[in-house]
Amino acid sequence: MTVFKRLVNMARPYIGRFLLAAVCMTAAGALHSSLPLVAKEAIDGIFMNKDISALKWIPFAIVGIFLLKNLCNYVQVILMNSIGLRIVTDLRRKLYERIQMQSLSFFTEHPTGLLMSRITNDVLSVQSASSEAITALVKDTITLIGLVGVVFYLDWKLALIAMIVFPITAYPIAKFGKKIRKYTTSTQTTMGTLSSLLQETIAGTRIVKAFCMEKYESDRFAKENERLFKLGMKIVSIGALSSPLMDFLGGLGIAAIVFYGGYNVIEGHSTPGSFFSFLAAVLMLYEPIKRLTNINNTINQGIAGGERIFSIIDRKPDIEDRHGAADLPPIEKEIVLENVTFKYEHTPVLKNINLKIKAGETLAIVGMSGGGKTTLVNLIPRFYDVSEGRVLIDGRDIRDVTVRSLRSQMAIVTQQTILFNDTVRNNIAYGDIERTDDAVIRAAKAANAHDFIMRLPQGYESNIGELGTKLSGGEKQRISIARALLKDAPILILDEATSSLDTEAEIEVQDALDNLMKGRTTLVIAHRLSTIRNADRIIALAGGEIVEEGTHDALLAKKGEYYRLYNLQFKDEGNGNDRLAKDVE
């Protein structure tokens, strides 16, 4: 199905409004087309025949025509724009919903700025095509048909001369349309790149300034901006050429009409009123033709944007519920990874992993960067699906249960704390915004966050800024822990939750994490000694494989991979005390 047909189908719920708008557009077109006939009566009756009776009714007729025509235009503009705005509102909602349904791999492939461009710029181009363009298309087509009827009624021979020009215009209109669509697609792609660059550099402004890269980033932006300018100028050039070309071709037709029509008036075969009304009708005829040429450009821009939008809407999510998927009951026994292999773009990240995690057990996962630690824990909530093997919870393949019921049993605290530009309360209650204030406060207290929250200007109703910029790193992490505590999920994933904190903040956060881990099945991607020592079991990953497994003391005694990682992180200072040297990764 073409993009245009799909947009038309989206307008079906609003067919009543469209039919009423079409009636108004038809009436406006008919009234507009009647003006040359009134002009003929005015010239012949008033100026040639000196008919006083014509002078009495023709001015009132002109006023009535303009009044009714503009009233119809007003109604159809309101109706058609309401349809157009409703279509793009529905389209924007569907697009956002589809983006939200995609797996993490989708967001790896599509930069944030590119997706933002889809929702903003592409949708705006569709809005122009679905409201302004379609309105003009219907209205000008009706006007065109009416005026063609008038010119043939007034003088069919002259009309045939005028019509010779129309087939000549078809080729450039089609040619311009193809070029407009091509350049519009390139423009939207460049706009997405520009938006992505803008988002990255604004979000990472601290790093840009720290490395004195302002000039470099400005040059990168200027390069993409210049490319966008050149594409925009190509579109403008095509649009600017189409109108003069139509004017020139129209001029040829009018010149032929003046010659032949003037000859007929001189020879007495036609009246001045007939000739001038015919000429007026032809001049009026070329105006809707020129507008339709420009509308063709707008429609092609909208179709180009629509193609990009529907490419996402039509994309099937990598992770979705199977047919007949059931809800997952709360975990009672164990999580099992059975012969699990995971590949990313044909590159193995995990190889033949076999692992059992008992309910209530704390498992720490260590390894060098790129060893597959985060990938392993991401398989359990089905952020990705295994390439081979199975992930089981209490004997049930997680692909056979609903994604919502699976993830509802899991709470996640990551190194990169994600908070939203909202109040403290709403960030803690994220996932169940209807939770009571008492429950939110209890979670905050357990996360050692209540005291600093109460010191904020409005307490729990304080806005924390974009990504929690108004809070320190430790404060943000404790809000994140409070959010996980409030969810009260039986499975907990801690992905380097304290690695980015200083020692003082780490002590407060670690105490909150200890409260969070009580009574839960916990998977910890380990960085800090305290987390590793307290784990019931530790596995060491290397090259995507489990190379060691055991308790902290047992693995140190083996002097294998874990021992090597341990020495990378800690070293003896000669006084019997361990101190942190650097992160495991």
Residues 305 and 349 in one domain: no
- Residue-level pLDDT at 584: 35
- Residue-level pLDDT at 585: 37
pLDDT reading at 331 higher than 60: yes
Q: What tokens does 385 get? A: 């699906």
Instruction: Show Cβ contacts of residue 198 under 8 Å, excluding neighbours closer than 6 positions.
Output: 113, 221
Residues 123 and 171 in one domain: yes
Residues 375 and 276 in one domain: no
Residues 301 and 327 in one domain: no
pLDDT reading at 459 higher than 80: yes
| In-domain check, residue 448 | no
- Top pLDDT among 369 and 577 is at 369
Residues 329 and 301 in one domain: no
- Residue-level pLDDT at 68: 92
Q: How confident is the model at residue 574 (pLDDT cuts 50, 70, 90)?
A: very low
Give the separation between CA 421 and CA 203, rounded to whole angstroms: 14
Mean pLDDT over all residues of the chain?
79
Q: Contact 341/389 with Cβ under 8 angstroms?
A: yes
Residues 27 and 86 in one domain: yes
Mean pLDDT of 419-441: 86
pLDDT reading at 449 higher than 50: yes
Give the separation between CA 418 and CA 431, rounded to whole angstroms: 13
Residues 276 and 324 in one domain: no
CATH number of 360's domain = 3.40.50.300
Residues 306 and 342 in one domain: no
Task: Kindly report, residue by residue over 2-50, the tens digit of the pLDDT.
Answer: 777 787 787 788 888 888 988 888 888 888 888 777 777 777 776 677 7
- Residue-level pLDDT at 479: 87
| In-domain check, residue 488 | no
Q: What domain count does the chain have?
A: 2
Residues 303 and 326 in one domain: no
Task: Kindly report, residue by residue over 527-558, the tens digit of the pLDDT.
Answer: 665 567 778 899 988 888 899 999 888 888 88
- Residue-level pLDDT at 67: 92
Q: How confident is the model at residue 355 (pLDDT cuts 50, 70, 90)?
A: very high
Task: Kindly report, residue by residue over 119-144, the tens digit of the pLDDT.
Answer: 877 887 787 777 666 777 777 787 78
Residues 234 and 346 in one domain: no
Mean pLDDT of 167-188: 67
Residues 137 and 192 in one domain: yes
Strand-pair category, 347-358 with 537-542: unpaired
Task: Kindly report, residue by residue over 497-507, the tens digit of the pLDDT.
Answer: 666 565 666 67
Provide the residue range defining the domain that includes 8.
3-200+229-313
| In-domain check, residue 194 | yes
CATH number of 74's domain = 1.20.1560.10
Mean pLDDT of 487-491: 87
Residue count of the chain: 585
Residues 17 and 106 in one domain: yes
